[in-house]
Structure 1
Amino acid sequence: MPADPRPAPAAAFAPPPGIRYAGIGDEAAPALADQLAAVHQLGWNAVELRTVDGRALADLDDHTFGALTEQLAVTGTDVVCVDSRIADWSRPVTGPFTLDTDELRTLARRCPALGTRYVRVMSYPDGGLTEPEWGHRVKERMTALARQAEDAGLVLLHENCAGWAGTRADRMLDLLAHVDSPALRLLFDTGNGVPYGYRSAELLADILDHVDHVHIKDALPTAPGQAAYTLPGQGAAQLSDCLGLLLRHTWRGTWSIEPHTRLRPHDGTDSRADDGPAAFVAYGRALERFVAEQVPGAATAAVPAHGGVHG
């Protein structure tokens, strides 16, 4: 893919100090070129990778992966995290553990080429087990995975999503204490509390010191366990409270958009069609403006692009 000679546009508003904006690329489009184009249209230079042409990063053949790293280099795009399927909603704790260890082994070879140490994981559906046995097996598996990640120089980021420790701060902290490894940290998704039925800001306050990465989405509840995803600030995810809390505690890192307005892998929804990149860009612009105008502590850092500040 040839380099685009045109300079990237400036971000509409600069992020707060210490914060970087990025996005999960396949929320914009299946093809990597379109994913990167959407990110760069926002004036950002960072992407989070989950799938390319519908295939998980660990499932790409070596030739395709090599072409991917070339595209990243040519376009000057950094990878901030890899979203794996390890322990996610598709893999119950009663399933084959080798699926996870093999995927992590592949990512351990590929993450150095991508320039990231972060691998998103979850903590397994119960597979029909009782809660005590579910928790026991999760801790056992996550300990082994963390040791494997530690040996490879990677950091597993457990997301507040599917799994034993997905929706409760006490279980997240219990899991971290049990595993007791620098290779297991937390990923906080602002919008997951809406379908799962908890208040996001309250959970974040309990786990804040252990959070290394943030996903941005917002949503309104529609039925038990279901949500309709919205632009930032238009939902019930307490987005302003969550981001303000991070800034008040001088948190530093990446805020990565996961709009879910066109693509929701866990329920098979994919309506990106031709407007996926445009919708992704519109979401990113909405986040920039929302942060600048409605997040406490961010306004003084949010300078319009024409003032010369770039994201």
Structure 2
Amino acid sequence: MPSEPETPRLAGLGDEAAPGLDGQLAALDALGWDLLEVRTLDGVPIAAVPERDVARAAERIRGAGAGVVAVAAKIGDWSRPATGDFALDLAELDALARRCALLGTRTVRIMSYPSGGLTESEWGRVARARVRELASRARDAGLLLVHENCAGWAGEDAERALDLLAHADSPALRLLFDTGNGVAHGYDAPAMLRALAPHVAHVHIKDAVRTPGGDTAYVPPGEGEAGVRECLGILADHGYCGALSIEPHLHLRPHLLADGADPGRGDPAAFVEYGRRLEDLVRRSWNTEGAR
């Protein structure tokens, strides 16, 4: 009898559960999971948290029997256009290298820069050059950068994402695929994932629908228009066994800060329920071929 395929590890972006580490770890414990993805602690981006505080947080995480699967950086994200100061990203990468060593992870989420008003050709040139330099430095630091299909030059197009990888030409750069971003950014996520799946090293799980007014509303996984079930099937078919990290966005949406809006805050009960929904979807996608 053939053995069941290895299933992905389950994780969550902690600040989607609670601002502080105690609440984040409590939500993880309620799920029975042992992997945390760190973006902020008490509302402070992890790269800006003092190293001594990161060291204390790392001890608390280990003491809870958990580990850190990745950190989510601001490098190249919606707040850092291609016309901005690249030194900010280089400094953040240096800071994260030290903090990742303390946290016991090497995976860092990045994006590829909003245009900032540049022409298409100049935007692409700047984005590719910056990510190539970041990947070079990440390799020297023992880090793995994972580029998310979100804000930036290569965020919404599979060909651009593959071009970005080819231009960087580095084992220190792979892809992060977020299942829900296609709804917000106007592309078909499963179609994009089919082209990118062999290069995906980390996954965010979210789901969403478009509202009658043209906004994006986030919903439990499998209940929206993002094609989460189809994406999980594609990942299973490709033998993906990295982490699936929940990013519900039900109560916290950090990108709203770009417009000066209230981003909300994490909700532990919603986080736990979201995780339970994902567990069921993963069982259906990975256990048997017939379940898909």
TM above 0.5, yes or no, is yes
Is structure 2 residue 178 aligned with structure 1 residue 200? no
2:211 maps to 222
> Which letter maps to 1:253?
G
2:275 maps to 284
1:32 maps to 21
Which string of whole-angstrom CA distances, capped at 9 and with x for unpartnered residues, describes residues 30-88 of structure 1? 00111011011100000000000000111011221121111112111110000000000
SS at match of 1:240: helix
Contact 2:78–2:255, Cα closer than 8 Å, also in 1: yes
1:48 maps to 37
SS at match of 1:160: strand
2:128 maps to 139
CA distance in 2, matches of 1:301, 1:73: 38
User: Which protein has greater RCO, CA pairs closer than 8 Å, 6+ apart?
Assistant: 1
Query: How many percent of aligned residue pairs carry the same amino acid?
Result: 54
Contact 1:150–1:183, Cα closer than 8 Å, also in 2: yes
1:9 maps to none
> Which letter maps to 1:256?
S
Structure 2's unaligned 5+ residue stretches are none
1:86 maps to 75
> Which letter maps to 1:279?
A
Alpha-carbon distance, 1:223 to partner: 6.0
> TM-score, normalising length from structure 1?
0.87
CA distance in 2, matches of 1:105, 1:164: 23
1:189 maps to 178
Which string of whole-angstrom CA distances, capped at 9 and with x for unpartnered residues, describes residues 185-213 of structure 1? 00000000001111111000001111000
Contact 1:195–1:225, Cα closer than 8 Å, also in 2: no
> TM-score, normalising length from structure 2?
0.93
Is structure 2 residue 116 aligned with structure 1 residue 127? yes
> Which letter maps to 2:191?
E
SS at match of 1:260: coil
Structure 1's unaligned 5+ residue stretches are 1-14, 303-311
Contact 1:17–1:301, Cα closer than 8 Å, also in 2: no
2:88 maps to 99
CA distance in 1, matches of 2:189, 2:221: 14
CA distance in 1, matches of 2:289, 2:198: 24
Which string of whole-angstrom CA distances, capped at 9 and with x for unpartnered residues, describes residues 240-263 of structure 1? 110011111111110000000000
- CA-based RMSD: 1.9
Contact 1:233–1:240, Cα closer than 8 Å, also in 2: yes
Number of aligned residues: 284
